[in-house]
């Protein structure tokens, strides 16, 4: 698997000859090196329904024909927009051409605000495990720290973990460092920081807090080969 980071929570995985784009928030994301109109993934995986995660999903999926994989409520909402989407839910796993995906719990929200100010429920927010050829990538989505991260790692030893460190909406660096201890990933990469003023952080400071030595700041566009 080749895994690259593209600012905020955007992660791209190349696996089994397929491209998987996670949380493609590109338009309006000043940190990303990607252009939405240049993306032609085979699959788009969404952790939850917030705008800074769904991002350009509808435009990219319409143009490229990518299959969107998301929790049931969000997937059905996207199907209604004319997008091909596969509904799953937390605890469920399934094989696709890129490998296996499993949705895990996250403590967060997932409402999508409508033009009239009301919110549409997009189901539970989630994290995802993506597994292929004995390697496992964990993208935590937006979440608080929770102790069952230990259980996730016990069931699925993690090679590469992406953890939000921005604080305010998600874990901050201190809690994310505890999450890294719980997860015991071989490599732990901070995400979801610096995009907006309330989530400004020093990722090097986070890395220095990770006691198991797995912390690593990925620059935008950097690739890790597992």
CA distance 215 to 16: 27
Q: CB under 5 A: which stretch of 47-55, 177-185, 201-209, 217-225 binds Mn ion?
A: 47-55
Among positions 42, 52, 56, 167, the unique one binding Mn ion when judged by CB under 5 A: 52
Residue 144: how many other CB atoms lie within 10 Å: 15
Backbone angles phi, psi at 203, to 5 degrees: -65, -30
Q: State the nearest-atom distance from the C-beta of 95 to Ni ion, in Å.
A: 27
Going by their DSSP bridges, the two strands 93-96 and 85-88 should be labelled as: unpaired
At 57 the three-state DSSP class reads helix
Q: Are 39 and 24 in contact (CB under 8 A)?
A: yes
CA distance 3 to 127: 16
| Using rule CB under 5 A, residue 50 touches Ni ion | yes
Looking at residues 138 to 157 of the shown chain, list those that interact with Mn ion (rule: CB under 5 A): 142
Q: How far is the CB of 47 from Ni ion (least distance, A)?
A: 8
| Residue 23 contact partner, candidates Ni ion, Mn ion, none, CB within 5 to 8 A by sort of partner | none
H-helix segments, 65-141: 72-80
User: Which C-beta is closer to Mn ion: that of 52 or that of 73?
Assistant: 52
Binding site partner of 42, from Mn ion, Ni ion, none, Cβ cut-off 5-8 A by kind: none
Under rule CB under 5 A, residue 142 binds Ni ion = yes
Among the listed ranges 7-15, 44-52, 180-188, 216-224, the one in contact with Ni ion (CB under 5 A) is 44-52
Judged by the rule CB under 5 A, the positions of this chain that interact with Ni ion are: 50, 142
């Amino acid at each position: 698997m080749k895994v690259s980071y593209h600012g905020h929570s955007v992660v791209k995985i190349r696996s089994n000859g397929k491209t998987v784009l996670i949380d493609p928030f590109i338009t309006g994301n000043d940190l990303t090196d990607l252009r939405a109109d240049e993306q032609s993934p085979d699959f788009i995986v969404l952790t939850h329904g917030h705008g800074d995660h769904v991002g350009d999903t509808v435009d990219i999926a319409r143009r490229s024909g990518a299959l969107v994989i998301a929790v049931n409520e969000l997937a059905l909402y996207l199907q209604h927009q004319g997008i091909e989407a596969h509904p799953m839910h937390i605890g469920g796993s399934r094989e696709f051409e890129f490998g296996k995906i499993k949705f895990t719990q996250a403590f967060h929200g997932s409402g999508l605000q409508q033009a009239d100010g009301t919110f549409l429920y997009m189901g539970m927010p989630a994290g995802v495990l993506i597994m292929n050829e004995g390697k496992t990538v964990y993208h935590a989505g937006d979440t608080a720290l929770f102790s069952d991260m230990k259980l996730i790692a016990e069931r699925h030893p993690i090679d590469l973990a992406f953890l939000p460190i921005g604080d305010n909406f998600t874990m901050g660096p201190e809690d994310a460092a505890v999450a890294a201890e719980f997860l015991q990933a071989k490599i732990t990469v901070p995400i979801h920081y610096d995009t907006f003023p309330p989530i400004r952080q020093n990722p090097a400071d986070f890395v220095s807090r990770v006691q198991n030595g797995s912390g690593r700041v990925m620059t935008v566009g950097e690739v890790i080969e597992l």
